[in-house]
Chain A
Amino acid sequence: MSLLNIVKKEVKELLTPATVLPVILMFIIFASMGNFFGETAEKAKEMPKIGLVCNDDGNASKIFVDVMEAYCNIVTRNNSIEEVKERKGIALIEVPSNFSSNIENFSKADIKIYWIINDVGISNAFPYETLKNIIDVAEEEIINNILKKREINASFVSNPISKEELTVFKEKEIDVSPSIILQFFSTQSTTVPIIVMIIILTSGGMVITSMGMEKENKTLETLLTLPVKRSNIIAGKIMGAAIVGFIIAMIYMAGFGYYISSFSGEKIDLSTYGFKLDILDYFFISLSLFSSLLAGLSLCIVIGTFAKNYKSAQTLTLPISALAIIPMFIIMFKGFASLPFSLKAIIFAIPFSHPMMAPSFLLLNEYSIVIAGTAYSFIFSLICIAIAAYIFKTDLLLVGRARKRWKFRLV
Chain B
Amino acid sequence: MKALEVKNLVKRYGEFEAVKGVSFSVEEGEIFGLIGPNGAGKTTILRILATLIKKSDGEAKIFDLEVGVDDNEIRKIISYLPEEAGAYKNMTGRQYLAFIASFFDGKEILQRGIKISKLGKRIDDKIENYSKGMVRRLLLTRALMTMPKLAILDEPTSGLDVINASEIREMIKRFARNGMTFLISSHNMLEVEYICDRIALIDKGKIIEMDKPEKLKEKYNAKNIEDVFIKAIK
Listed in ascending order, the chain A residues whose CB lies under 8 Å from chain B are: 1-2, 5, 8-9, 12-13, 16, 217-219, 221-222, 224-229, 394-395, 398-399, 402-411
A218 touching B75, Cβ below 8 Å: no
B39 adjacent to A409 (CB under 8 Å): yes
Contact B18 A408 (CB under 8 A): yes
List chain B residues, Cβ under 8 A from A405.
15
CA distance in complex: A5, B100 (Å):
9
* B231 CB within 8 Å of chain A: no
Sample 30 A-B pairs with CB under 8 A, ordered by A number: A2-B102, A2-B103, A5-B99, A12-B88, A12-B91, A13-B91, A217-B86, A218-B82, A218-B84, A218-B85, A221-B47, A221-B50, A221-B82, A222-B80, A222-B139, A225-B79, A225-B80, A226-B100, A227-B72, A395-B53, A399-B53, A404-B15, A406-B13, A408-B18, A410-B18, A410-B41, A411-B38, A411-B39, A411-B43, A411-B83
A222-B82, A411-B83 known; A229-B72 Cβ under 8 A: yes
Do B54 and A218 have beta carbons less than 8 Å apart? no
Taking CB as reference atom, which chain A residue is nearest B56? Answer: A395
Known: A217-B89, A219-B86. 10 other contacts (CB 8 A): A13-B88, A222-B80, A227-B72, A227-B104, A399-B13, A402-B16, A403-B14, A406-B16, A407-B16, A408-B13
Pairwise interchain contact B51-A225, C-beta atoms closer than 8 A: yes
> Which chain B residues (39-60) contact chain A, with CB distance < 8 Å?
39-41, 43-44, 47, 50-54
Q: Do the beta carbons of B80 and A228 come within 8 Å of each other?
A: no
Which residue of the partner chain B has the closest CB to A215?
Answer: B86
The reply to whether B14 and A219 form a contact with Cβ atoms under 8 Å apart is no
Kindly report which residue of chain A lies nearest to residue B44, judged by CB atoms.
A410
The 8 closest A-B pairs by CB, nearest first: A402-B14, A218-B86, A217-B86, A225-B80, A410-B39, A227-B75, A402-B13, A395-B53
Partner of A225, one of B18, B52, B88, B139: B52
Q: Which residues of B contact A404 (CB under 8 A)?
A: 14-15
Task: Tell whether B142 is near chain A: CB-to-CB under 8 Å.
Answer: yes
Q: How far is the CB of B65 from chain A (nearest CB, A)?
A: 12
Residue of A nearest to B12 (CB): A402
Q: Kindly state the separation between the CA atoms of A320 and B39 in the bound complex, as whole angstroms.
A: 37
B76 in contact (CB, < 8 A): yes
Chain A residues, CB < 8 A from B225: none
Query: Contacts of B160 on A, CB cut-off 8 Å?
Result: none
Q: Does residue B184 face the partner (Cβ distance < 8 Å to A)? A: no
**Chain B residues in 8 Å Cβ range of A221:** 47, 50, 52, 80, 82, 85
The answer on a CB contact under 8 Å between A225 and B50 is yes
C-alpha gap A9/B41 in the complex (Å): 33
Rounded to whole Å, the gap between the CB of B165 and the closest CB of chain A is 19
Q: Are B87 and A219 in contact (CB under 8 A)?
A: yes
Does B78 interact with chain A (Cβ within 8 Å)?
yes
Q: Report the separation of the CA atoms of residues A394 and B75 in the bound assembly, to the nearest whole angstrom.
A: 16
The answer to whether A398 and B54 touch across the interface, beta carbons within 8 angstroms, is no
A410: which B residues are within 8 A, CB to CB? 18, 38-41, 43-44
For the complex, give the distance between the alpha carbons of A9 and B91 in Å.
9
On whether the beta carbons of B75 and A226 are closer than 8 Å, the reply is: yes
Closest residue of A by beta carbon distance from B80: A225
Inter-chain CA distance A404–B102, complex, in Å, is 42
Q: Is the interface of B mostly helix, strand, loop or mixed?
A: loop
* Residues in B neighbouring A402, C-beta threshold 8 A: 13-14, 16
A16 to chain B: which residues have CB within 8 Å?
A: 90
B13 near A222: Cβ-Cβ < 8 Å = no
Residues of chain A within 8 A (CB-CB) of B84 are 218
A1 CA / B103 CA spacing, docked (Å):
8
Q: Is the CB of A219 within 8 A of B102?
A: no
Contact for A398 among B14, B18, B53, B99, CB less than 8 A? B53
Which residues of chain A are within 8 angstroms of B99 by Cβ–Cβ distance? 5, 8-9
Q: State how many angstroms separate the Cβ of B96 from the closest Cβ of chain A.
A: 9
B1-28 contacts to A, CB under 8 A, are 13-16, 18
Per-residue contact bits, chain B 97-138, to A (CB 8 Å; 1 contact, 0 not): 001101110000000000000000000000000000000000
With the chains together, A219 CA to B82 CA distance in Å? 9
* CA A217 to CA B103, docked complex, whole Å: 20
Contacts of A13 in B (CB 8 A): 88, 90-91
For A9, the chain B residues whose CB sits under 8 A away are 88, 91, 99
Q: Which of B38, B75, B90 contacts A12 (CB 8 A)?
A: B90
B95 at the interface (CB under 8 A from A): yes
A411 contact set on B, CB distance < 8 A? 38-39, 43, 83
Which A residue sits closest to B16, measured CB to CB? A408
- Knowing A218-B86, A225-B78, A410-B18 are in contact, say whether A398-B52 is a contact too (CB < 8 A): yes
User: Which residue on B lies nearest to A409, using beta carbons?
Assistant: B39
Q: Are B76 and A219 in contact (CB under 8 A)?
A: no
- Which residues from chain B contact A5 at a C-beta distance below 8 Å? 99, 102-103
Q: How far apart are A336's CB and chain B's nearest CB, in angstroms?
A: 43
Q: Which residues does chain A contribute within 8 Å of B88, judged by CB atoms?
A: 9, 12-13, 217, 219
Contact in complex: A227, B103 (CB < 8 Å) = yes
Q: How far is the CA of A12 from the CA of B51 in the complex (A)?
A: 27
Q: Please give, as numbers and ranges, the residues of chain B lying within 8 Å of A403 by CB-CB distance.
A: 14
Query: A407 contacts which chain B residues (CB < 8 A)?
Result: 16
Q: How far is the CA of A403 from the CA of B75 in the complex (A)?
A: 30
Residues of B within 8 A of A225 (CB): 50-52, 75, 78-80
**Are the C-beta atoms of B76 and A227 separated by less than 8 Å?**
yes
Report B-chain residues with C-beta under 8 Å of the C-beta of A229.
Answer: 72
In the complex, chain B residues whose CB is within 8 Å of the CB of A8: 99
Residues of A within 8 A of B38 (CB): 410-411
Q: Which residue of B lies closest to A403 (CB)?
A: B14
Within the complex, the shortest CB–CB distance from A358 to chain B, in Å, comes to 37
CB distance from A64 to the nearest CB of B (A): 71
Interface centre among A5, A8, A218, A227 (most CB of B within 10 A): A227
Q: Which residues of A contact B79 (CB under 8 A)?
A: 225
- When distances are taken between beta carbons in the complex, the residues of chain B under 8 Å from A398 are 47, 52-53
Separation of A229 and B51 alpha carbons in the complex (Å): 12
